[in-house]
Amino acid sequence: MTAVTDTIRNGVDTEQLFSTLDLIKDQPELARFQFRATNRWIDGSHNRSTIKAFYAAGGEDTTRSEEFVIDAGEPAILLGSDTGPNPAEHLLHALAACLTTSIVYVAAARKVQLTSVQSTLTGDMDVRGALGVDDEPRNGFERIAVAFRITGNAPEEKLREVVERAQKRSAVYDMVTNGVPVAVEMTTD
C-alpha cells in the first residue's frame, strides 16, 4: 500500500515519470514529437477542430481511442452566435492547461501533494487591430495575467518554487511568451 501511495502523486505515476525521463536521456531521438489539429469551417465564425493522431517516441502513436472535437465561435458583438469560445479564449485555455499540468507534474516529482490548483486568466485587447480599423494596436492581447491559487502539503515558498519551475518548462507558456515561427500555405481546387 505504501509503495502505491508513494508512486502515484497528484494522479501522476512518478515511477513512470522518472523512467520516461531516463529513457529520453538515453535515447534523445525518442523526444521528437509532432502534434496535429485539423479544422473545418462550418458557417460564419463557427469552425471545428478534430484532434487525434500524433507522432511520438519514434512512430505514430495509436493509443488514442477517440477523436477530440472542439468548436470555436464568436459572441454576438463580434458577429457570431456563441458556437464555442472564441479563438483568443481558446489560447487562454491552452495556457492555463499547460501551466497547470506543469505545476502538477513538477509537484509530483518534488514530492509535493497538491490539494487544489485554480487559475484565472485575463487577456486585454484593443480590437481595432484585429478588425483592421487601426494599424497601431496589435491584433492580439497586449498582455495576459495569470492568477493561481494553489494549496498543498508544502509551505508557500516551496509552492512558489514549483510554480517557477513549471513556468520555466511549460510548452505553451514558452510559445505564448516567446512566439513560434508559423508557415501558412494555401491550395484551392
Hey, what's the cell of 14?
512518478
Q: Give the list of residues 6+ apart from residue 97 with CB closer than 8 angstroms, or none.
A: 172
- Establish if 7 lies at the interface with a copy of itself (CB under 8 A): no
Q: For residue 105, give the amino acid letter.
A: Y
Footprint on residues 79-108 left by a copy of itself (CB under 8 A): 79, 82, 84-105
Footprint on residues 14-43 left by a copy of itself (CB under 8 A): 16-17, 20-21, 24-25, 28, 31-41, 43
d(CA 138, CA 125): 8
**Least distance in angstroms from the C-beta of 2 to a copy of itself:** 20
| Among 2, 3, 5, 178, contact with a copy of itself (rule: CB under 8 A) | 178
- Establish if 129 lies at the interface with a copy of itself (CB under 8 A): yes
d(CA 13, CA 18): 9
- Establish if 112 lies at the interface with a copy of itself (CB under 8 A): no
Q: Give the list of residues 6+ apart from residue 108 with CB closer than 8 angstroms, or none.
A: 9, 10, 12, 14, 17
**Least distance in angstroms from the C-beta of 11 to a copy of itself:** 3
Element housing 72 (H / E):
strand 68-72
- Establish if 173 lies at the interface with a copy of itself (CB under 8 A): yes
Residue 1 or 40: the one with the smaller Cβ distance to a copy of itself is: 40
**Least distance in angstroms from the C-beta of 42 to a copy of itself:** 8
